[in-house]
């Protein structure tokens, strides 16, 4: 399984754009990149998933360079409610693989007023 490396913590201010980068040098051809968000005392919540280039949804954007060895989660105009732990995961998303979801330590994002 591809291992991921991401910053332990980040701080930002309300209204700013926050970019969290994740390294996954050993990503496999059929691996997808997935990000989860977790608030205290809650289970993780799926944010976004991508394979290559850029993916955008109502919550975030995910940028993946051509070599796929890293990815960047971009949160536009953060608010206090975006304070959470963000996990970057890589793994195959298809039925045929024995894929399982493995979490690292995550990035603890703190948003200040």
Partner 1 sequence: DTGVSQNPRHKITKRGQNVTFRCDPISEHNRLYWYRQTLGQGPEFLTYFQNEAQLEKSRLLSDRFSAERPKGSFSTLEIQRTEQGDSAMYLCASSLAREATEAFFGQGTRLTVV
Contact residues: partner 1, CB under 8 A: 32, 34, 41-46, 49, 85, 87, 89, 91-95, 97-106
Print burial letters for 11-29: b (CB count within 10 Å at least 16), e (below 16). ebeeeeebebbbebeebee
Q: In the bound complex, what is the minimum distance in angstroms from residue 104's beta carbon to partner 1?
A: 6
Q: In the bound complex, what is the minimum distance in angstroms from residue 46's beta carbon to partner 1?
A: 5
The side-by-side arrangement of strands in the sheet containing 61-64 is 18-23, 70-75, 61-64, 53-56
Q: In the bound complex, what is the minimum distance in angstroms from residue 36's beta carbon to partner 1?
A: 8
Distance, in Å, from the CA atom of 57 to the CA atom of 112, rounded to the nearest integer, reads 24
Please, which residue, 44 or 64, has the CB nearer to partner 1?
Answer: 44
Please, which residue, 75 or 89, has the CB nearer to partner 1?
Answer: 89
């Amino acid at each position: 399984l591809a291992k991921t490396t991401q910053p332990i913590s980040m701080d930002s201010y309300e209204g700013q754009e926050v970019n969290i980068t994740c390294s996954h040098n050993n990503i496999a051809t059929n691996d997808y990149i997935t990000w989860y968000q977790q608030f205290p005392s809650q289970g993780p919540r799926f944010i976004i998933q991508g394979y290559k280039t850029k993916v955008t949804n109502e919550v975030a954007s995910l940028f993946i360079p051509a070599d796929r060895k890293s990815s960047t989660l971009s949160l536009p105009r953060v608010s206090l409610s975006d304070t959470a732990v963000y996990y970057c995961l890589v793994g195959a998303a298809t039925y045929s693989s024995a894929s399982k979801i493995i979490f690292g330590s995550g990035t603890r994002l703190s948003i200040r007023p």
